[in-house]
């Protein structure tokens, strides 16, 4: 299981701090999965991260439940669960794609020029499908998070326009992503956990 936590630390500083980073202390908290055992520190693991202005390996703090024998990993808010690309990078890629009214290949070149991140055609299409599939859930979460009276997505027939409207409401991708994750255990690209 992965849990996101808020950090003001940028990826460069997080990487430099390494194991000395001020991780949230979960020792002796009840397990998030079985609710019966207590968590104990279980070391670290490395993961690769690509985001705006950073590409490299970072470490992730891990905890272990002695009862159910499952682990809990603490992801900093700039990471996206189960993705190499960070949350800021994913949202920037999607915003650049949906703002560009060109082909996928042209959009990829535009993404590289605009935000300096290489993105394959397959990865872009994967992110696009996931975002479009989660559009309604995300719209409701953005309404809740920002206290909006009207939905951020109008009744347009074009799905691309609906996603473009939703993305325009995401001004702080890291904070919005963390709030959505804390409320639903879902992210921009993953469905709500049951």
Cα(111)–Cα(43) distance, integer angstroms: 37
**Predicted confidence band at 172 (pLDDT cuts at 50, 70, 90)?**
confident
Order of strands across the sheet with 2-5? 2-5, 71-76, 54-65, 39-51
pLDDT tens digits, 81-127: 889 999 999 999 999 898 876 778 888 888 888 888 999 999 999 99
When mean pLDDT is compared across 59-73, 82-96, 158-172, the lowest value belongs to 158-172
Pairing outcome for strands 71-76 and 2-5: parallel
Q: How far apart (Å, rounded) are the C-alpha atoms in residues 177 and 184?
A: 11
């Amino acid at each position: 299981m992965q849990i996101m936590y808020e950090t003001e630390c940028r990826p460069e500083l997080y990487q430099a701090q390494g194991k000395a980073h001020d991780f949230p202390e979960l020792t002796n908290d009840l397990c998030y999965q079985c609710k019966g055992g207590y968590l104990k520190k279980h070391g670290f693991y490395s993961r690769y991260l690509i985001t705006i202005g950073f590409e490299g390996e970072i470490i992730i703090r891990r905890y272990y439940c002695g009862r159910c024998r499952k682990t809990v990993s603490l992801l900093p808010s700039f990471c996206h669960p189960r993705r190499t690309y960070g949350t800021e990078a994913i949202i920037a890629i999607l915003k650049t794609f949906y703002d560009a009214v060109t082909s996928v290949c042209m959009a990829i070149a535009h993404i590289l020029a605009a935000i300096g991140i290489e993105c394959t055609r397959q990865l872009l299409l994967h992110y696009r499908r996931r975002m479009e599939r989660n559009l309604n859930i995300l719209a409701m979460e953005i309404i809740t998070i920002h206290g909006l009276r009207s939905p951020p997505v109008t009744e347009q027939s074009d799905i691309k326009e609906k996603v473009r409207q939703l993305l325009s409401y995401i001004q702080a991708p890291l904070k919005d992503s963390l709030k959505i994750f804390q409320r639903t255990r879902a992210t921009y690209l993953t469905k709500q956990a049951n």
